[in-house]
Amino acid sequence: MSKFIPVSEPSIKRKEIEYVTDAVRSGWVSSLGRYLGEFERSFAEYIGVKYALAVSSGTAALHLALVVLGVSKGDEVIIPELTFIATANAVAYTGAKPVPVDIHPQTWCMSPEAAAEAVTQKTKAIIPVHLYGHPVDMNPINEIAQSKGLYVIEDSAEAHGAEYRGRRVGGLGTCGVFSFYGNKIITTGEGGMITTNEQGFYERAKHLRGQAMSEGHRYWHTEIGFNYRMTNLQAALGLAQLQRIEEMICKKRRIFKWYKQCLKGLEAVTLNPEMPWAKNVFWMVCLVLESDVSVCRDELMAKLKAEGIDVRPFFYPVSQMPMYCDGTVNSVAYNLSERGLNLPSGVGLERTEVELIAARIANIIKGK
């Protein structure tokens, strides 16, 4: 195969160029301007919450949410073992301890049973992560949180538009956080969003986002805030993307269906789950090798990459990282992490490319 197939790339069309050009021409290039308010309002409406606050990244959204909820040194925050490192790092920024718990084998997301077992006197919040586009089983997580008086921050960075029992993720806990990095379902280049139904939470997050400057008293600050603002240029891109989000999700779901059809009959592999109560947005198409296959994950990846097929390994378990390593082994996550890879999943992908990738995978596995 000669053509390089990226693992994911943004889809930028006429509307994005039109809105960003308009924002540049308006002169409002920093964090004031009409696209910011419009993007926030439209995003809140899309998720089904009262408030949305645009920030500079998904990591900033996580950090800001934790600060607003008062998480600090001495606290513990429960996170899933299998996630992008930002989930753990944001907890560490506050001085609190991230506590990784195992994932559920059927959803690949945080196991509610494992979360319940990890609650201690020090636990302040739970961060379920809707991994690779699949929603977490939220009802049991919310029940644990309610019974123990904990906050729930839904890390929805990889799952814009995913649904749990008919409701969009990001509106199911105390707050939701999203990322708009270039490989996400919709992008602003770099960027993030916090979603919530709680006015007090929203207002405090907004205050801290802009250096905690006192209302009506310019350059007067009574506490340490952050510059976590998004620019009007990013919001212009985001608004155009949001107006196309259903197109992106439909294509993601179609791409997954193509892979499913093309890899049918290859017993050595499993693809992403989709529980009966879930709408998975398949941010990344995932392939997991059965443990008895002759080829290992890294060998398969190397062979695909050599042919211009861009793939990524699954995230490594958080507790395997040197800064979070404490002897914990959450076996479901450890096992899955070793055997999983992300296949090309960009919305520009064509069926013929999926057919070629699937054929190559089948041949490598069969030793051809």
Which chain residues interact with ligand PLP by CB under 6 A? Answer: 57-59, 83-84, 86-87, 129, 155, 157-158, 179, 181, 192
Q: Which is nearer to ligand PLP, 75 or 154 (CB)?
A: 154
Contact 115, 101 (CB under 8 A): yes
Q: Which is nearer to ligand PLP, 142 or 179 (CB)?
A: 179
Shortest Å distance, C-beta 195 to ligand PLP: 14
Report the sign of the C-alpha dihedral through residues 96, 101, 107, 113, in that order: negative
* Residue, CB closest to ligand PLP: 58
Contact 310, 7 (CB under 8 A): yes
The verdict on whether 184 is a catalytic residue reads: yes
Three-state DSSP at 144 gives helix
Shortest Å distance, C-beta 342 to ligand PLP: 11
Q: Which is nearer to ligand PLP, 192 or 361 (CB)?
A: 192
Q: Which residues pair with 100 in a beta bridge?
A: 79
Shortest Å distance, C-beta 315 to ligand PLP: 8
Contact 52, 134 (CB under 8 A): no
Helix axes 351-365, 245-262, angle to 10 degrees: 40
Cβ contacts of 113 within 8 Å, gap of 6 or more: none
Look at residues 5, 1, 3, 2 and name the one whose alpha carbon lies nearest to residue 345: 5
Distance (Å, rounded) from C-alpha 330 to C-alpha 325?
A: 12
Q: Which is nearer to ligand PLP, 57 or 196 (CB)?
A: 57
Q: Which of 124, 184, 251, 252 is catalytic?
A: 184
Shortest Å distance, C-beta 266 to ligand PLP: 28
**Positions marked catalytic:** 184
